[in-house]
Every structure is written in C-alpha cells, then in structure tokens.
Amino acid sequence: MAYVTLKDIAEQTGVSINTVSRALKDKPDIGADTKRRIRETAEALGYVPNATASSLRSRSTKTIGVVVTHLDNAFYARILQGISDAISDSGYTILVLSSNEDLGTEGRIIRTLYANRVAGLIIVPARDLESDIDYDTLKVPHITIVRKGSLNTSHFFITDSRMSGRLAAEKITGEGRRHPGYIGYTLPVSCNTYRLDGFREELSNRGLHLPDDRVLLCDSTADASYETARSLLASRRKVDSLFVYNDHMAFGVLRALHEAGVRVPDDISVMGHDDITEARFHIPSLSSIRVPKYQLGFESASCLMDILEGKQSISRRVIYNPESVIRET
C-alpha cells in the first residue's frame, strides 16, 4: 500500500503541489475555500504528513531514543509505559534499543541515534561502575535512569538502592532470621553493589554478619539464579533467608527451593526486588522491594520534554525511595 502524497492531493483538487503544501500549513496567501477543499480531500485520502521530510528540513527528528539494558526484563515494561504516556500527546515517538549490558553496544547505539538526529535520549547506563561514557558531554538533551552513570552530574532519575538493601535486611531480621544470604548480579552495576552494601550495613546494625560464602553472584536471569541456588543448597551452608537482586532471579531461586523440598518461608524466606507484576501472581506470591517504575519513566520523560521545549534548565536529580511489599515468601 502506497502512502498518500501531496502530488496525489494536487491531482485530486486540480491545484499545484506547492498550493497543497501551503494550504495544509495554513499559509495566509491561500484562500479559505481552497484550503477547505484541499483539507477535505487530504482527509478523505488518508494523508499523513511526512515526518522524515520534515526532519530533514529541521535537522532533527520528533523521536526520543531510549536505551535499556535488557528488553526481555519485565522491570522495564512499566518504565517504558510511563515514558510512552508522558510523550503521547507531544507528537514525539520513542525508539527503544537494548545494550545487553555491553558498553561497546551502548556506545554504538548512542552514536547511531545521534547520527539519526534524535531529539533526546533516555539511557539506562550499562555496567555503570566501570563505564567511562561521559554523559555530560553528549550533544543532545539526555537523561539517565535506573542508574546514574559514573560520569554524569546532570539529569538522572534513580532509586535509592542502599535503602532497598536496608529494607530487605529489616524485614528478614524482623522475622527472627539469623542466617541471611544474598544472590546478586555478577556484573559491575551500582544497583547490585549498593543493594548489597545496604543489606550488609543494616544486618550489621542488627548484630548479624553476612559472610562472603553466603554472597553468590550470577547472571541476572532465572536460569542462572536457579543453578546458583541449587549450588548453595548442595553446599550445606546454613541459610534461613535470601535477598535476591531482582524478581526474575527470585523466581529461579524459588523453583530450586521447591525441587529440593525446602519449605518457603518456613525453612528459607525469599525477598526479591523490583515488584514486577508477576511477583504478585507467582505461587507462592513473592515478597519484594517495590520501586516506582511507572513514575520513574513518566517523570523522566516529562523532564526531557520540558528540556526540549525550553522549560527546564537546571539539573534534575531525582532519587526515589523504595518500599517493601510482604507476601507469601
């Protein structure tokens, strides 16, 4: 099916292409009757303005580039919904790409989006603790989310990961657990490091020690955490509670515990992180640390829109507080 062009409208109305263009732009040198006839014809034919041609003239597009680390992680679904809702009435579209937690891929994506003249960028920094990408120097309006980025002092929207760890320790010790463990992410990302730091700090404040042999790191998937939990159980280390880096990993842990005949939460309690929708409907329903995913996406995108419209000049540095959600695990 071919797109309707200005030429098609001109042929239908018997005027020049230039007249059609000027009438659709409501130029004052085109008569009211001619404008009405051209617009009615355009609507009847299903004409939609060519955004690509417009971007070539303005040297920018009405596109927002969004770079996340994993497209298959449900955590990002609510964030992307928030971003989409924030820009839905603005005339902008979003283009979402994944770095797969690879710095080289992230750099290439950012260069490609810049080469295609996106209006702005929303970025989840990959491996932010070892990244040398200086987001402050990007020559396009941008905001980092979820992780700040080591070399970034301007706009970011993140959650207090240390508080996440402290909340998990508070709930676990409140149940009388004395032998906690942590299953985390093996890559150098601040979310994992700071959650573990907060977890350890709060346990220490409550008179408990988290030994290194009860801290296990793996890939951030259910498959990897399933195998890690099986190894932990096989080692016979005494563990009565587990704080897990994200909910997907916690699902893998729960499966391993179930297969081993471990009762949850009687023998071992499990706390995930992110509170994705599936956590509520899993059997047993997963206790988790909730972060404001939709709000993070909506407010970061709204901030970017304000920057693009010249309404925002000072840096926005937003840190949300997480909250614990206790369910069956």
Q: Where are the domains of the chain?
A: 6-49, 60-159+293-321, 161-290
pLDDT over 90 percentage in the chain: 70
Burial 275-307 (b: 16+ CB within 10 A, else e): bbeebeebeeebbbbbbbbbebbbbbbbbbbeb
Give the confidence band of 208 by pLDDT, cuts at 50, 70, 90.
very high
CB 147 within 8 A of CB 157: no
| Distance spanning both ends of the chain, measured CA to CA | 54
The pLDDT of residue 56 is above 50: no
Comparing 6-49 with 60-159+293-321, is the CATH topology the same? no
HSE of 256, CA atoms in CB hemisphere, 13 A: 22
CB 324 within 8 A of CB 290: yes
Residues in the chain: 329
Q: pLDDT higher for 172 or 136?
A: 172
Tell the residue number behind the tokens 């399933």, with chain if given. 226
Q: Residues 6 or more apart from 159 whose CB is under 8 A from it?
A: 146, 291, 292, 296, 319, 320, 321, 322
Q: Domain 60-159+293-321's class?
A: alpha beta
Please tell me the least confidently modeled range out of 150-154, 207-211, 262-266. Answer: 150-154
The pLDDT of residue 189 is above 70: yes
The kind and range of the H/E element at 170 are helix 161-174
Domain 6-49 matching CATH 1.10.260.40: the answer reads yes
Residue at 242: amino acid letter: L
CB 256 within 8 A of CB 229: yes
**Chain segment 139-164, per-residue pLDDT in tens:** 889 999 999 988 777 899 999 999 99
DSSP per position, 124-156? --TTTTT---BGGG-SS-EEEEES--TB--S-E
Q: What share of the chain is helix, strand, coil (3-state, %, to 5)?
A: 45, 20, 40
The pLDDT of residue 18 is above 70: yes
Please tell me whether the overall predicted TM-score, pTM, comes out greater than 0.85 for this model: no
Q: Which fold has domain 161-290?
A: Rossmann fold (3.40.50)
- Mean pLDDT in the chain? 92
